[in-house]
Amino acid sequence: MDVKLEMEVGLGQDEPRRAVERFERFANAHELPMGLVFKFQLALDELLTNVVSYAFDENEPNPVITVGLRLTDAQLEAVLQDNGRPFNPLLDAPEPDLGLPAEDRRVGGLGIHLTKAFVHGLRYERVDGWNRLNLVQPL
Protein backbone atom coordinates (compact mmCIF):
# COMPACT_ATOMS: atom_id res chain seq x y z
CA MET A 1 0.00 0.00 0.00
CA ASP A 2 1.18 3.52 -0.79
CA VAL A 3 -1.57 6.15 -0.78
CA LYS A 4 -1.31 9.92 -0.50
CA LEU A 5 -3.57 12.85 0.24
CA GLU A 6 -2.59 16.48 -0.19
CA MET A 7 -4.61 19.35 1.23
CA GLU A 8 -4.41 23.08 1.70
CA VAL A 9 -5.47 24.58 5.00
CA GLY A 10 -6.88 28.10 5.24
CA LEU A 11 -6.46 30.59 8.08
CA GLY A 12 -10.01 30.37 9.45
CA GLN A 13 -10.66 29.18 12.97
CA ASP A 14 -12.54 26.12 11.68
CA GLU A 15 -9.80 25.12 9.26
CA PRO A 16 -7.82 22.78 11.56
CA ARG A 17 -11.04 20.87 12.24
CA ARG A 18 -11.83 20.64 8.55
CA ALA A 19 -8.35 19.27 7.88
CA VAL A 20 -8.36 16.69 10.68
CA GLU A 21 -11.83 15.51 9.71
CA ARG A 22 -10.53 14.93 6.21
CA PHE A 23 -7.63 13.02 7.71
CA GLU A 24 -10.12 10.97 9.75
CA ARG A 25 -12.07 10.00 6.63
CA PHE A 26 -8.82 9.07 4.87
CA ALA A 27 -7.71 6.98 7.86
CA ASN A 28 -11.07 5.26 8.25
CA ALA A 29 -11.24 4.49 4.54
CA HIS A 30 -7.97 2.58 5.00
CA GLU A 31 -9.15 0.96 8.23
CA LEU A 32 -6.47 2.31 10.53
CA PRO A 33 -6.97 1.48 14.23
CA MET A 34 -9.22 3.97 16.05
CA GLY A 35 -6.75 4.70 18.85
CA LEU A 36 -4.01 5.58 16.38
CA VAL A 37 -6.37 7.73 14.33
CA PHE A 38 -7.43 9.68 17.42
CA LYS A 39 -3.87 10.38 18.55
CA PHE A 40 -2.62 11.36 15.13
CA GLN A 41 -5.69 13.53 14.63
CA LEU A 42 -5.07 15.31 17.92
CA ALA A 43 -1.43 15.94 16.98
CA LEU A 44 -2.39 17.36 13.58
CA ASP A 45 -5.07 19.51 15.21
CA GLU A 46 -2.70 20.94 17.83
CA LEU A 47 0.05 21.71 15.30
CA LEU A 48 -2.32 23.23 12.73
CA THR A 49 -4.11 25.28 15.39
CA ASN A 50 -0.74 26.76 16.37
CA VAL A 51 0.07 27.62 12.78
CA VAL A 52 -3.35 29.11 12.02
CA SER A 53 -3.29 31.16 15.23
CA TYR A 54 0.30 32.39 15.36
CA ALA A 55 2.35 31.82 12.21
CA PHE A 56 1.19 34.78 10.15
CA ASP A 57 0.91 38.54 10.51
CA GLU A 58 -2.53 39.92 9.76
CA ASN A 59 -1.32 41.53 6.55
CA GLU A 60 0.63 38.52 5.28
CA PRO A 61 0.09 38.71 1.50
CA ASN A 62 0.24 35.04 0.65
CA PRO A 63 -0.16 32.69 3.62
CA VAL A 64 0.06 29.03 2.63
CA ILE A 65 -0.42 25.99 4.85
CA THR A 66 -0.33 22.50 3.38
CA VAL A 67 -0.69 19.00 4.78
CA GLY A 68 0.58 15.97 2.94
CA LEU A 69 -0.44 12.53 4.19
CA ARG A 70 1.15 9.30 3.12
CA LEU A 71 0.13 5.84 4.20
CA THR A 72 2.22 2.75 3.51
CA ASP A 73 2.10 -0.74 4.99
CA ALA A 74 4.78 0.27 7.46
CA GLN A 75 3.75 3.75 8.57
CA LEU A 76 1.51 6.78 8.50
CA GLU A 77 3.30 10.00 7.73
CA ALA A 78 2.25 13.66 7.62
CA VAL A 79 4.19 16.67 6.41
CA LEU A 80 2.89 20.08 7.54
CA GLN A 81 4.34 23.08 5.77
CA ASP A 82 3.71 26.79 6.18
CA ASN A 83 5.43 29.92 4.93
CA GLY A 84 4.88 31.80 8.20
CA ARG A 85 7.43 33.10 10.66
CA PRO A 86 10.11 30.60 11.71
CA PHE A 87 8.83 28.56 14.64
CA ASN A 88 9.92 25.16 15.89
CA PRO A 89 7.10 24.01 18.19
CA LEU A 90 9.19 21.05 19.34
CA LEU A 91 11.76 23.39 20.90
CA ASP A 92 10.16 26.83 21.16
CA ALA A 93 6.90 25.91 22.91
CA PRO A 94 7.04 26.20 26.73
CA GLU A 95 7.11 22.91 28.65
CA PRO A 96 4.01 22.77 30.86
CA ASP A 97 4.55 22.08 34.58
CA LEU A 98 2.06 19.28 35.17
CA GLY A 99 2.70 19.26 38.92
CA LEU A 100 1.20 22.68 39.59
CA PRO A 101 -2.25 23.14 41.17
CA ALA A 102 -5.12 24.43 39.00
CA GLU A 103 -4.65 28.02 40.16
CA ASP A 104 -1.10 28.12 38.81
CA ARG A 105 -1.45 25.85 35.80
CA ARG A 106 -1.10 27.30 32.34
CA VAL A 107 -2.32 25.66 29.21
CA GLY A 108 0.39 27.06 26.94
CA GLY A 109 2.50 24.23 25.61
CA LEU A 110 -0.04 21.56 26.48
CA GLY A 111 -0.95 20.94 22.84
CA ILE A 112 2.68 20.28 21.94
CA HIS A 113 3.10 18.15 25.05
CA LEU A 114 0.17 15.97 23.90
CA THR A 115 1.56 15.88 20.37
CA LYS A 116 4.96 14.64 21.58
CA ALA A 117 3.29 12.01 23.75
CA PHE A 118 0.98 10.75 21.00
CA VAL A 119 3.19 10.67 17.89
CA HIS A 120 6.47 8.74 17.78
CA GLY A 121 8.52 10.49 15.11
CA LEU A 122 8.46 14.30 15.09
CA ARG A 123 10.95 16.39 13.20
CA TYR A 124 11.14 20.09 12.39
CA GLU A 125 13.16 21.88 9.74
CA ARG A 126 13.19 25.33 8.22
CA VAL A 127 13.66 25.12 4.46
CA ASP A 128 13.71 28.08 2.05
CA GLY A 129 11.32 30.20 4.08
CA TRP A 130 9.04 27.29 5.04
CA ASN A 131 8.42 25.62 8.37
CA ARG A 132 8.26 21.91 7.78
CA LEU A 133 7.03 19.45 10.40
CA ASN A 134 7.25 15.76 9.81
CA LEU A 135 5.11 13.29 11.79
CA VAL A 136 5.67 9.56 11.51
CA GLN A 137 3.65 6.83 13.19
CA PRO A 138 4.72 3.22 12.64
CA LEU A 139 1.79 0.86 12.06
The single residue among 105, 120, 123, 126 that binds another protein, judged by CB under 8 A, is 105
Regarding 96 and contact with another protein (CB under 8 A), the answer is yes
The single residue among 17, 22, 70, 132 that binds another protein, judged by CB under 8 A, is 17
The single residue among 118, 131, 133, 137 that binds another protein, judged by CB under 8 A, is 118
Stretch that binds another protein, among 59-67, 72-80, 103-111, 127-135 (CB under 8 A): 103-111
How near is the Cβ of 97 to another protein at its closest, in Å?
9
Residues 6 or more apart in contact with residue 35 via CB below 8 angstroms: none
| 76 φ, ψ (degrees, to nearest 5) | -110, 130
